[in-house]
Structure 1
Amino acid sequence: MVKFLAEWFTAGGPFMWAILAVLAFSCAVFAERFFFYYLVCGRRGNQIVSKLAGYLNENKSGEADKLLKRGNAPLLVLLRTALDRFSSGVTADEVQEGVEETAIIQVPRLSQRLNYLSLFANIATLLGLLGTITGLQLSFSSLATVDAAQKASLLASGISQAMITTAFGLIVAIPCMVAYTFLVNKQSQLTKDLDQSVVKFLNYLRKKSS
């Protein structure tokens, strides 16, 4: 099996290496985003806000600080900003302004590098087509120097090899698009959860300060 794959890869020509590089970058982006979404941002916002409100109601500000310092997820940073401003004695409007300023930096972290997967899918497909076109050109140009009896077999062999790059390009592109769609849905869920949780906590602080 390994020998067959090695021969298949070699037969595809130099564009196979370019597509393989795209695959490597795609895997790196997917792994980084998956880690960020499910480990860094994995905790539910409603649960965090409920715990936070419980600590503040019991005047356990130290526990509240510990809770918000357990990570660097965008939600935790925004809640930490809100709590720090509230603790400094500023008005509710000033607390909200501080959160909005921090959100300009933190919210884009959720979509960072995500579009690369869509880009890599397109690049892999186009590289596959380019490799096929180049392979076909070489096949047809080589027919001029061979006997008529050999032309059919050489042409069939050349076309078969040329199509390998298209196949490999699609093999890389399809999982990239699936991964992109999967991560976009997760990013949308996290953004919605962040918005709801921050609004809920700001409303709690308004009631607490009134």
Structure 2
Amino acid sequence: MSVEAELIAPAELGTSVVSDKGESIAPQAKEAASGLLDQGDAMTSLAQQAPSVVERMQDFLLVGGPVVWILLGFSIIALSIVLVKLWQFALLRPESNRDVTQALALWRAGEHGQATVVLKRNRPVSELVYIAMRGVLNVRQDMDLLKDELERVAALRLNQLRALLRPLEVIATLSPLLGLLGTVLGMITAFQRMEAAGNQVDPSVLSGGIWQALLTTAVGLAVAIPVVVIHSWLERKVERVAAVMSDSVTQVFTGQQISVVAEPELEELKRAA
């Protein structure tokens, strides 16, 4: 073999190896490129769908007319009120009565000072129980005045918890009525178009007017249903807080009397035995 052949043979061998590697890598590169193209197509389709949803919402607002705009405003107001009330209840935790239960147990056991210490007075029920305990321990406190003060504080705290619930009730009541009003107005418009068309009535005119009219009813119900549910839930929470207030304050007064009466009865039972 000549020197030129020996030099050419390794070069040809290297070229064949490179070509084999290139042929093995090529399908993987094609698959990766196709995957990137598919992802790009998916992102493009999502980008195309996003404006379509926004445009559809705009079309609903334009088709529904002022009634849908009013219902949209109602939904924003209702959402704001719900967020404020959830923040208020989460901050006060008015239904949490673990400290009240512990304080009443200490109160019945005669540890009056410790009972007032464990109460968290930033909560409505705990504040009311603290006022009742301090009033009972103050021998110079008039019981009638103490009960009036307890009623005043209880009414004030319950009114704070009920704040903004009335607007929710109004929105829940008016939303379906506004939707029905929009439906009636839309039907009137549809029949006016039919009358104007005369004998050449196009069914699409009537069907288009009907679905436009029913759109307002659907929006009104969509706003009213969740507002009714949330309003009932919040109202029920306030009712439970009022019941816990009444029960806890009553236990403060009865617990003091039971602890005083229990000792003579115990002595009588010992004598009878």
CA distance in 1, matches of 2:208, 2:104: 68
Asked if 1:27 corresponds to 2:79, the answer is yes
Counterpart for residue 57 of structure 1: 111
1:172 offset after TM fit, Å? 0.6
Asked if 1:5 corresponds to 2:57, the answer is yes
Asked if 1:44 corresponds to 2:96, the answer is yes
Larger Rg: 2
Summarize the alignment of residues 1-210 of structure 1 with structure 2, pairs less than 5 Å apart.
1-51=53-103, 54=106, 57=111, 59-60=113-114, 63-64=117-118, 67-69=119-121, 71=122, 73-86=123-136, 88-91=138-141, 93-94=143-144, 95-146=146-197, 148-206=199-257
The number of aligned residues is 206
Q: 1:205 to 1:101 in 2, by over 3 A?
A: farther
Unaligned runs of 5+ in 2: 1-52, 262-273
What SS is found at the alignment partner of 1:90?
coil
Contact 2:162-2:238 within 8 A present in 1 as well: yes
Deviations 1:173-199 (Å, cap 9, x if unpaired)? 111111122223222222222221222
1:207 offset after TM fit, Å? 5.9
Unaligned runs of 5+ in 1: none
Contact 2:125-2:245 within 8 A present in 1 as well: yes
Q: 1:79 to 1:185 in 2, by over 3 A?
A: same
CA distance in 1, matches of 2:240, 2:116: 30
Counterpart for residue 270 of structure 2: none
Instruction: Give the alignment's TM-score, normalised by structure 1.
Output: 0.79
Q: 1:116 to 1:209 in 2, by over 3 A?
A: farther
1:125 offset after TM fit, Å? 0.5
1:18 offset after TM fit, Å? 0.7
Contact 1:129-1:165 within 8 A present in 2 as well: yes
Deviations 1:140-187 (Å, cap 9, x if unpaired)? 223344364453211111111111111100111111111122223222
Q: Alignment identity in percent?
A: 23
Query: Cα RMSD between the aligned structures?
Result: 3.1
1:44 offset after TM fit, Å? 2.5
Contact 2:103-2:116 within 8 A present in 1 as well: no
1:26 offset after TM fit, Å? 1.8
Deviations 1:40-78 (Å, cap 9, x if unpaired)? 1345235324247649827458845xx444x2x432332
Instruction: Give the alignment's TM-score, normalised by structure 2.
Output: 0.63
Contact 1:45-1:197 within 8 A present in 2 as well: no
CA distance in 1, matches of 2:81, 2:74: 11
CA distance in 2, matches of 1:135, 1:101: 51
| Greater relative CO (CA pairs within 8 A, separation 6+) | 1
Deviations 1:20-49 (Å, cap 9, x if unpaired)? 111122223322333333431345235324
